[in-house]
Amino acid sequence: MIFLNFKTYESGTGKNAVLMANKVQDVSKETGVKIIPVVQPSDIKEIVSTTSIEIWAQKIDPVTYGAHTGSILAEGVFEDGAVGTVLNHSENRFVDFETLSKAHLRAKEVGLKTLIFTKDIEEMEKALEIKPDFVSYEPPALIGSKDVSVATSQPEIISKAVLISKNSGVPLIVGAGIHSQKDISISLSLGATGVAVASDVMLSSDPKRELLELVEGFK
């Protein structure tokens, strides 16, 4: 499986987000590889209304109904049709583990699936204590890299992460600099369940072709 993080790329915002999600759906249906658009909360409702694949949110906050101006409420993204949410991405990390735990609890209270991003093994071990549906290992320094991926530069850490996540019964998603089918096949051969990708697809002049190339790594 692939988590395709739309971030705040222009190609993944507003009308473009809807177009991109439909391309993702085409590739997913043509190839049978599960690809999950991870989108901005403001785009969830419209994307959900034009697709039939799982759509996830990029974040929720650890708040309940009430006076929390600017926060992203779990109930809101769930009502708009999101199936899950990622949490703690390096570009929008929670201030501490307690805050992450609260946000995770809120996601679970409304029935959202969860993927927790972690920057290293230590943080991953901590995140596994709260039993997300998926855990991701993404070294921040490699995020957005065009030529070095986590798969080719840190295979031994991925193997270690696989062992630890398997012991907790939580599937591992690896990300950062993933840009080729080789990156994906290496990640899967080391025991990862899937990958998280962004720039390779979102900045491509032909995202559908790029995705079709990437999914070859699952064959």
Which region, judged by CB under 6 A, interacts with ligand G3P, from 48-56, 60-68, 96-104, 170-178?
Answer: 170-178
For residue 5, give both structure tokens. Answer: 């993080």
Main-chain phi, psi angles of 100, to 5 degrees: -60, -45
Which region, judged by CB under 6 A, interacts with ligand G3P, from 23-31, 42-50, 162-170, 193-201?
Answer: 193-201
- Rounded Cα–Cα distance for residues 40 and 59 (Å): 8
Of the listed 54, 89, 123, 179, which one is catalytic?
A: 89
> Does the footprint of ligand G3P cover residue 197 (CB under 6 A)?
yes
> Does the footprint of ligand G3P cover residue 176 (CB under 6 A)?
yes
Which residue's CB is nearer to ligand G3P, number 23 or number 89? 89
| Owner of token pair 């697709």 | 51
* Catalytic site includes residue 46: no
Residues 30, 31, 34, CA angle at the centre, nearest 5°?
110
| Owner of token pair 């051969």 | 189
- Rounded Cα–Cα distance for residues 148 and 96 (Å): 29
Of the listed 123, 138, 179, 210, which one is catalytic?
A: 138
Residue 29 CB-half CA count within 13 A: 10
Site for ligand G3P in 70-99 (CB under 6 A): 89
For residue 191, give both structure tokens. Answer: 């025991």
Near ligand G3P by CB under 6 A: residue from 177, 194, 207, 217: 177
| Residue 131 Cα distances to 15, 28, 110, angstroms | 35, 27, 16
Print the binding letters for residues 129-168 with ligand G3P: x by CB under 6 A, - otherwise: ---------x----xx------------------------
> Does the footprint of ligand G3P cover residue 186 (CB under 6 A)?
no
Count of residues that bind ligand G3P according to CB under 6 A: 14
* Catalytic site includes residue 210: no
Which residues sit opposite 39 in a β-bridge? 57
> Does the footprint of ligand G3P cover residue 199 (CB under 6 A)?
yes
Q: What is the DSSP letter of 159?
A: H
Which residue's CB is nearer to ligand G3P, number 81 or number 144? 144
> Does the footprint of ligand G3P cover residue 178 (CB under 6 A)?
yes
- Rounded Cα–Cα distance for residues 216 and 219 (Å): 5
List residues binding ligand G3P (CB under 6 A).
Answer: 5, 89, 138, 143-144, 175-178, 196-200
- Residues tagged active-site: 89, 138
